[in-house]
Amino acid sequence: MARLALVHSVGSEEQLLTVIDKYSAGQIEARQLIPVRFSRLEGV
């Protein structure tokens, strides 16, 4: 079964790294992995 995975952070200040899997049969699953905090990259 083929799978497409999207990995992204969800939330405003306190975020969770989340994986959303979509399988060829149309089934969608979401898994929350770990707390993360992304910030703006400055000075580039």
For residue range 18-41, list pLDDT tens digits in order: 999 999 999 999 999 999 988 778
In a domain, 42, yes or no: no
Continuous segment of H or E residues that includes residue 14: none
Range of 17's domain? Answer: 3-36
CA distance 6 to 40: 21
Separation of first and last alpha carbons in the chain: 42
For strand 28-36 and strand 15-23, is the pairing parallel, antiparallel, or unpaired?
Answer: antiparallel
- Residue 30 falls inside a structural domain: yes
Report the number of distinct structural domains present in the chain: 1
pLDDT at 3: 86
Q: What is the mean pLDDT of residues 5-20?
A: 87
Tokens (6 digits) for 19: 């994986």
pTM of structure: 0.68
Closest CA to 19 of 39, 27, 28, 11: 28
pLDDT above 80: residue 8: yes
**Residue 44: its pLDDT value, please?**
67
What pLDDT is recorded for position 39?
77
Strand 15-23 to 3-10 pairing: antiparallel
